[in-house]
Every structure is written in C-alpha cells, then in structure tokens.
Structure 1
Amino acid sequence: MTIATLTKPWEAFSYGFLDASAKRELRRKMLKAIAVPGCQMPYASREVPMARGWGTGGLQVTLTLLKPSSVVKVIDQGADDSVNAASIRSFLSKVSGAAETWDTLAATLIQSRHRIPEERLRADQVLVLQVPNPEPLRPVEPNMSVARQMHADADYGRLWLILYEQIVRSGRIMQGASYPALVNGRHVMTPSPIPRWDLPKLHMAQHLTFLSAGREKRLYAVPPFTRVEPLVFSDVPYQVEDHGALTCHRSGVAGYFMNEIPQDSGGSVFELSDSNLGIKAIRRRDGEDVALGATWYENGKMPK
C-alpha cells in the first residue's frame, strides 16, 4: 500500500467553499425554516476556516446563498471595518467571485453580528444573523430534550415568569440583547444578540432573515411580512434603548443607536453604531452626492 492509493488527485474546491451535499442540506433546512417561522431546524454544521463561536453558522448560510452576481456586506456590531467583518467579507469574495460593499443600499446579501443596519432593507435583500445561542428556553430549561417538548406544546410560561420577576425586582424588564420574541404567533425565538433597538426592525419587514448557530447546529428564519412580537405584558410596554436624543460626535447624526466611548476625563462621547451610515453622513456633510436610504427609526422613534 502506498500513500498515492489512499489519496485522491488534487482538484479545486467546490464553488462557495462548501461541498454540494452540505449546500443541499442547508437549502432544505432553510426552506423548512421559512415554512415554519421561528422554529429551529437542526443541520450538520460543517467545518469552515473559522473557529466555532465566531460566526460559523452565519457563514455557512451565506456561502449557501452566494452566487457570482451577489453583493456582500458583512457587519460586526455595526462596523464594516473590524477584523472579523473584513476577514469574512474577503473570504466570501474569494470563494465566490461576489462583489464586496460597505453600503447597505448596494448589498444583496448582508451577514451581521449583533446589529441590523439602520437603513431599511428591501425585499430583494437577505439578512443573515450570526447566533451564539439559538435556544430562548435555555435560561429556564437546561435539558434540551425537555425544551424541544416545551416548544412543541407552546409552553412558554417560564419565560414569562422570568420577565415578571425582573419587573418585581428591578421595576422594569432588564433583558437587553436577545430579547425573546413570538414569531408568527407561534414559536418564541431569540433574535441573536441584537439590542432591543433592533428587534422591531424584524416585525413585518420586507426582507428575509436567517438566523444560524454553527456551534449549536441550528437555524431558523423570519420570512418577509411576518409578525415578530417581543414578549411583553399588556400594562408594561416594550421599550428600546433611550438613544433617541444622543448625537454622534463624528457625524453629527442623532436619533439612532449609539456606541458609548469613555473618555480619559471621566465623561463619554457617543458614536453611531452603524459605521457606514455615519461615513455616508459625513461625506454628505462635506458636499458629496451620497445616497442615504430611509431608516427604520426617525428621531429615535419607530413609526407606527
């Protein structure tokens, strides 16, 4: 026996890195996820050139959707220029030939960690959210077999109890990111670790959203024009972060989600979390002809 008999001749890897079998499985599960909004679909998460927990789930979904005509945007907590976002965007372009962009309006496929862009997404755009923990019941039921049965029975009483206890102890609901939401009136999902500010953007949105957790091997979806309702009590309304009055110290834009940057003096300044929107606002202020899309929020408020 020789090494040659144990190996195959060299050949180029599949288009979009993933092999055809992996893509077929992911497409089947993605179609099921669209058919049953908010319901988690298990899949055989493949190895990709990235460590588990750094966006492998979102990357696999994006690789499955990619085609040469795609225009790809990758966000890491609102920023296009972080190491993680730049590395993923470059990898996607190299294995598919797809074009890269920072502009939300130009993108056809957007992969994001922790944020949804401030500019409204269109019906021809797809949003892929990276998810570290897809199970909303994990804080109340560590046994995943029992949690699956609770989903089947629509038994979400323990989640309501957690929210009630937060109100009793703190006077308000303390849940920040990953706020549980009822999708299409049936399944409760955790909408990635996006802030409460971003959750209303999924409600009756025109675009398709996939949420995928590679380490947990689960994906789920929010199809276009689907109800996404945060779990709230009728006498305690849902509240987003109070950022409406904050102004970005670089672009001068106000009324959007901001990052707080501590200063040596002990104070803080604020910077627009959606970095590309801030860049476009600065370029427009400097006299350039830059297109700014309609935004989800207007002066810190979501129009009804």
Structure 2
Amino acid sequence: MTLASLTKPWAPMSYGFLDASAKRELRRKMVKAVCVPGCQMPYASREVPMARGWGTGGLQVSLTLINPQTCVKVIDQGADDSVNAASIRRFLSRVSGAPVTLDTLQADLIQSRHRIPEEILREDQVLVLQVPNPEPLRSVQPNMSIARQMHGDADYGRMWLQLYEQIVRSGRVMQGASYPSMVNGRHVMTPSPIPRWDVPKLHMAKHLTILSAGREKRIFAVPPYCRVEPLVFDDVPYRVEDHAGLTCSRSGAKGFFMNEVPQDDGTSAFELSDSEYGVKSIRRAEGDPVDLGDTWYTNGELTK
C-alpha cells in the first residue's frame, strides 16, 4: 500500500461543490429530522457562493441530495424565471451536471422559496424549502435557550395565547405566512414563509419535505404521510386566502393562489403565482399536448 493509492487526483472542487464531510453531516441531520418530524436539528452551515438569507440552507440540502440523474426545479415565490431561481438552478446544474426543468411533474428535486407548486407531488419527489426563520417561538420567547426548553417540554401555551390575542383584537387570526403548525402531534414548526394557502399541502403529503435555514443553522423535516395541523381553536376554523373567485389575467386559470398586479388606472389584475402551471394552462388552451397534473386545490377548495 502506498500513499498515492490512498489519495484521489486533485480536483478544483468536490462534486456538488460541498466537501464530503459537509455532505455526511447534512445527511445525518436529515435522517434525524425525518425520524423526529418537525424538530429542529442544528448543523454547521457551510459557506456557499450566495449571501446568507438568500437560500443558502435550501441550497446546501439540494447540493447534498443531487446526483447526475436528478432533475432539478427551482422556484422563487412561485416563479421559475426570477433572478434568484435562475441563479440557483444554473449553479446546481453546473456543479452537478444534473438536468434542470421548469415542469413540476418532471422534477425529482424541487427547491422552493415561499411557495409549494399547485400540482400534487409524488412519492418519489423531494421538496426543499428555504427557511429564513425556523423558530416559531421567537415572537413570544426571544431567548433561544428557553425556547428550545419549551420545545422539549411541548410548552406551546404562549403560541396559543398569541393567536387568541389576534382574534380578540382583530376578530380573526392575523398570522399570514409561516403559520405555526403541529407536526405529528408533537413539535410546533414554522412551515417556511409559505402562505396559509400552502400549509394544508404538507398534511399527509406523499412527498418528503426538508426545511433548512442556512443563516440560523437549523434543519427540520416533514416525512411522507405525516400529520401537519395548523394551530386553531375549535370554534375558529383555519382559513386560507380567499382566492377562489380570482381569475388569472394571462392563463384564465381560476381557483388558485394569485399574485395581485396593480394597474395604471388604480385597479388590480391577478396572475397565477405558480408561473409554470400558468404557462402550461396557456399552452393547453392553444391546443398543445401538455400534461397537467392533479392539483391540491380545485376552484379554491382543497381536494386532497
């Protein structure tokens, strides 16, 4: 045995950019996160060629899971063509050789910021969500040491009190994105900054969801077929955004989550937040053979 036989040829960087040690740690933490759904696992967040707060947590998870056969889709607030989404997609492809796609149905790995696609994901797909603030108790307990002890004791009374105060003051729960949700009946998590519209998509979903915060160095997961229940009172049901009566001005699709676009005359137009689903709807209306998958919502009502 020689020293040369134990070494590998020099390379400018490891496959997938991250070194082997970083990938091993992330894989261990992901396995732990899957075993304890909703529980935050700390990890040593590595440096990547992107500023913290712009998706470094999700990028590290994607770099760990990716291989040359993985078809990758990247979303930024529902859009595939934003600067952030295009940059991350191009970087993942360059460092891994993996193919990329805009179609949700063709993707094996979907990295997203703020949204979950409208089409229902399969069991063989993985959703990676970028998380800016993984701690749901931060607004009621700024001391993170005490907050982690509260998680250990399942002490979420302050979360319920916060929701109750919102109802008393405003007549309804004012929490929009990052709605606190109970995972598997044990841990309360903040499901990324996804809107209330997307939270029910995590409940008993077929796919694996991994949520990672690079700046806060925390990772947690929602395994397939796992209960995700928003915190609600028995007499105040959970309500999603009322977009059932809105129609996309470009594709004509109706009953999905919309973006409001102010017009010069003071009115508002609406466009489908899931940009690729809107493009596919337009192509189908023009007669192109397009495969539209089943959706979580139909006419604004949850169908799954």
Judge same fold: TM > 0.5, yes or no: yes
1:299 paired with 2:299, answer: yes
Q: Distance in 1 between matches of 2:205 and 2:25?
A: 26
How far did 1:10 drift?
6.1
Q: Distance in 1 between matches of 2:191 and 2:207?
A: 15
Aligned to 2:101: 101
Deviating beyond 6 angstroms after TM superposition, the runs of 4 or more aligned structure 1 residues are none
1:36 paired with 2:16, answer: no
1:209 paired with 2:212, answer: no
Q: Distance in 2 between matches of 1:119 and 1:245?
A: 19
Q: Distance in 1 between matches of 2:137 and 2:286?
A: 49
Aligned to 1:3: none
Q: Distance in 2 between matches of 1:76 and 1:25?
A: 27
**Aligned residues, how many?**
296
**Counterpart residue type for residue 242 of structure 1:** D
- TM-score with structure 2 setting the length: 0.97
> Per-residue CA shift, 1:161-189, capped at 9, x if unaligned?
00000000000000000000000000000
Q: Distance in 1 between matches of 2:214 and 2:11?
A: 27
How far did 1:11 drift?
2.8
Aligned to 1:136: 136
Q: Distance in 1 between matches of 2:188 and 2:200?
A: 15
Aligned to 1:226: 226
Q: Distance in 1 between matches of 2:153 and 2:215?
A: 26
Q: Distance in 1 between matches of 2:194 and 2:35?
A: 23
How far did 1:303 drift?
2.3
1:127 paired with 2:115, answer: no
Q: Distance in 1 between matches of 2:168 and 2:208?
A: 37
Q: Distance in 2 between matches of 1:190 and 1:261?
A: 28
Q: Distance in 1 between matches of 2:162 and 2:189?
A: 15
Q: Distance in 2 between matches of 1:97 and 1:123?
A: 24
Q: Distance in 2 between matches of 1:284 and 1:303?
A: 22
Aligned to 1:85: 85
Instruction: Calculate percent identity across the aligned residue pairs.
Output: 79
**Counterpart residue type for residue 245 of structure 1:** G
Local SS of the residue matching 1:270: strand
Local SS of the residue matching 2:106: coil
**Counterpart residue type for residue 302 of structure 1:** L
The unaligned stretches of length 5 or more in structure 1 are: 1-8
Aligned to 1:22: 22
1:264 paired with 2:264, answer: yes
**Counterpart residue type for residue 89 of structure 1:** R
**Counterpart residue type for residue 118 of structure 2:** E
Q: Distance in 2 between matches of 1:121 and 1:212?
A: 19
**Counterpart residue type for residue 172 of structure 1:** R
Q: Distance in 2 between matches of 1:117 and 1:251?
A: 16
The unaligned stretches of length 5 or more in structure 2 are: 1-8
Local SS of the residue matching 1:123: coil
Q: Distance in 2 between matches of 1:303 and 1:160?
A: 28
How far did 1:12 drift?
2.2
CA-based RMSD of the aligned residues comes to 0.8
Q: Distance in 2 between matches of 1:273 and 1:63?
A: 26
Local SS of the residue matching 2:260: strand
- TM-score with structure 1 setting the length: 0.97
User: Superposed, which structure 2 residues align to 1:138-153 within 5 Å?
Assistant: 138-153=138-153
User: Superposed, which structure 2 residues align to 1:112-191 within 5 Å?
Assistant: 112-191=112-191
**Counterpart residue type for residue 123 of structure 1:** E
How far did 1:23 drift?
0.2
Q: Distance in 1 between matches of 2:24 and 2:113?
A: 25
